[in-house]
Amino acid sequence: MKEPLRIGIAGLGTVGAGLVKLLTENDELIAARCGRRIEVVAVAARDHKKDRGFSPSRFVWFKDPVELAQSADIQVFVELIGGTEVAGQAVEAALQSGKHVVTANKALIAARGADLAALAEKWGLSLNFEAAAAGGIPIVKALREGLAGNDITRVVGILNGTCNYILTQMEETGRSFAEVLSEAQALGYAEADPTLDVGGGDTAHKLALLASLAFGTVPDMDGVYTQGIERISPIDIGFAREFGHRIKLLGIASMTPAGLEARVHPAMVPLGTPLADVMGVLNGVLTESGAAGQSVFEGRGAGGGPTASAVASDLIDIARGTRIAPFGVPSSALKTPRRANLGERQGTFYLRFDVLDKSGVLATIAKCLADMKVSIESMIQRGRAPDEKVGIVIITHDAREADVIAAIKAIEAAGAVVEPPCMIRMERL
């Protein structure tokens, strides 16, 4: 058996501690599968006294992750501290020092992935980031390796377990977004500041990585249209069900004739399709490609165990001597994506207008839609209460997104609504 692969771990939070536990418990199994042991020899964390379920005296302890990254005692630097500034300095220092790198840092790879990949390739090193998207689901390997012989056309994912949990609970209990978010925070499913999750930013980081892997492009966070779930109401969830759909926060990347279309937003997904059935804190990813057709992946997208599993998978590749360009093609071949104009996208839309039940309101809404050549497939108006708020719900036929948005603005300008209208895109999967 070869000598052990010596690794240093920066960050001993839930994932870092979970990785130490996994490597310890599965030591024999991992050694049998890759022909050598993976040995943690050094760690970096701020609190030496915190109870993590193991004795820190087992390892050389560093306060500074950059110092750990440069240590001659390690062959692989595992970055699990998050953020982009210190983590970026440490990862760059590790590569400059001849160390392979494994990271779970989606924000760092989305922001600097192409440059770091070029640095890794320059020195013949690995830069692996399976854990940066969809946790325990091996979607990075699927896109980079398993589907490498296919022309991938679309990637669609439920990539944030917090949002999926909130939407699932809203549907099952009828409670508001605010109520369920508060519960998710109490249960530890949502951060004290949940903005990155519920605002769609976390999903956007992950989508930028998946789009790069799928289409051979430089990660382009600025090109990802991002909208969160804060305005989704139990009313919309109920209507979605009535129309045979379920609301999910989706990350969608497609290579179209107009360029790369990358968007994160709530969407109505038809019931009975794979992503509609991904519930609770689970993640799910659907890919469409040439010879392979449609592939579906589902599993836990966050947490110490699933994320540590993904990190261990990357470490095993390095231990086996497997090295693949971080984005599946040499960094010099990554293309700067041409961004598609989402306003030109054709699709169907769910529209909800809260109005006063007065004569002529419906006619105004219909005229504004017709003026923008947006035709109505179906409509529901419930409640007859003069001078009180009622809802009008419309499903459109296929329409250009810019035309739908323009019609909504015209309806607001006409004074036909008493609350901001709700628009949710309907996806065909």
Active site residues: 206
Buried b / exposed e over 27-62, threshold 16 CB at 10 Å, is eeebbeebebbbebbbbbbeeeeeebeeebeebbeb
Alpha helices, H only, 123-154: 139-141
Q: How far apart are CA 267 and CA 250, in angstroms?
A: 6
Cβ-proximal residues to 333 (8 Å cutoff; 6+ apart), any chain: 216
Q: Which of 136, 391, 161, 427 is nearest to 169 (CA)?
A: 161
How many angstroms separate the CA atoms of 220 and 207, rounded? 9
Is residue 126 a contact partner of residue 100, using CB atoms and an 8 Å limit? yes
Across the strands, what pairs with 256?
A: 259
Distance of CA 242 to the CA centre of its chain: 28
Judge whether 294 and 158 are in contact, CB under 8 Å.
Answer: no
267, 356, 378, 376: CA torsion to nearest 10: -90
Q: Residue 206 phi/psi, 5° resolution?
A: -65, -40
Query: If you search the block for the tokens 């369920």, which residue do you land on?
Result: 180
345: nearest Cα among 221, 247, 409, 258: 258
State whether residue 62 is helix, strand or coil: strand
Note whether 8 and 74 are within 8 A (CB): yes
